[in-house]
Each structure stands twice: as C-alpha cells, then as structure tokens.
Amino acid sequence: MTHPLDPGEKRTVLVVDDTPDNLSLMSSLLRTEYRVKLAPSGERALKIASADGKPDLILLDIMMPDMDGYEVLRRLRADPNTADIPVIFLTAMSATEDEKIGLDMGAVDYITKPISPATVMARVRNHIELKLARDFLQNQSRYLEQEVQKRTREIVAIQDITVRAMALLAETRDNETGN
C-alpha cells in the first residue's frame, strides 16, 4: 500500500452526469492526472462510491432524471462509508440560492457550466489535496490515540507493581528491629 500523500499515485475522481458529452469532456480533461470513473445516473454513482476503491472526489451534476444531485449527496452523507468523500457540484444551475443549498448540504465546492478547464483542474487538485491531508491527520490521530492507550496500560501496570512492592516491604519483619 502506498503512502496516503504519495504524489506518484493517481487519485480517483468520479464524474456523475446524465449527459454523455459532459462525461466525455470531463473524462478527457481529468484523465491525464487522475483515474476517472464515470456514472450516467445517481444510482450508478452511489454503487461506484460505496464499492471497493471508492473515489477520492466526486464531481456531481444536480439536474438528472430519477435522482437529482441533491438526493445523491444526501445519500452519500448518510452512509458512513461514503460520508467523507468530498463532492463538488458541477452544474448549469447558476443561481446564488442553488449554490447556497448545495454548499449547505455538504458539498465542498460549486462549479457552474460552462466550465473553465483550468478552474476545474485547480479546484479538483485542491480538494483532493485537502482530503489527503485530512485522511493523513485522521490516521495520525488514531495512531496517537492507540499509543496513549498503550502507554496508559504500561503506567497502570508499573503502578500496580510499585504498590505491591511497597506492600511487601511494609509487611517485612526484621528480628534486628524487634519485628
């Protein structure tokens, strides 16, 4: 397994859009730097996101038939296995209220179509770096918590041994001192 911040490893981006041309455009834009998975529907996106090798980032359209992007995000956040995957809405909905709703729901960013390739690449890169740093800090936190628990157990064992040794010393009788 590679280090979580290994710059040589290609990270995975899931692009969710019901328009084949948009999927093709985003795939061609991202594939030079990322592994790209494509989902033509919200249902398919949820299956890909919860499978092994889950994505590091999801680019999600809002306006899709059957299940819109808001519902996909709700379901992602409700599942503990996918709750921490950053989601960027990539949509033609450009109203300020739409952006506010998306960000309030837990999206990390909001990009409106038509896209600027440089902007998309910069935001994808930034959010993947943030996720990797967050994952690294969580791993470090878990490791440090385990170390604290281990050292605490060692200290408790040393205290028990010390108390027993002191008790044995207190119970020791010496003929020279009158027992």
- The CATH code of the domain that includes 88 is 3.40.50.2300
Segments forming the whole domain that contains residue 26: 12-136
| The token pair that represents 124 in the structure block | 């994808």
Task: Give CA 164 to chain center in angstroms.
Answer: 48
Residues 73-94 pLDDT 10s: 999 999 999 999 999 999 898 8
Q: Which residue has the higher pLDDT, 25 or 169?
A: 25
Same domain, 115 and 34: yes
Using the structure block, give the residue that is written with the tokens 């808001």.
70
Residues 88-140 pLDDT 10s: 999 898 889 999 999 999 999 999 999 999 999 999 999 999 999 998 998 99
The whole-number pLDDT of residue 3 equals 47
The whole-number pLDDT of residue 169 equals 82
| The token pair that represents 172 in the structure block | 């020791």
Using CA atoms, how far residue 18 sits from 24, 55, 67, in Å, is 11, 18, 10
**What distance in Å separates the CA atoms of residue 153 and residue 140, rounded to the nearest whole number?**
20
**What distance in Å separates the CA atoms of residue 22 and residue 27, rounded to the nearest whole number?**
8
Same domain, 109 and 58: yes
Name the percent of the chain lying above pLDDT 70: 93
| The token pair that represents 118 in the structure block | 């440089």
Query: Which residues make beta-bridge pairs with 2?
Result: none
Residues 31-81 pLDDT 10s: 999 999 999 999 999 999 999 889 999 999 999 998 999 999 999 999 999
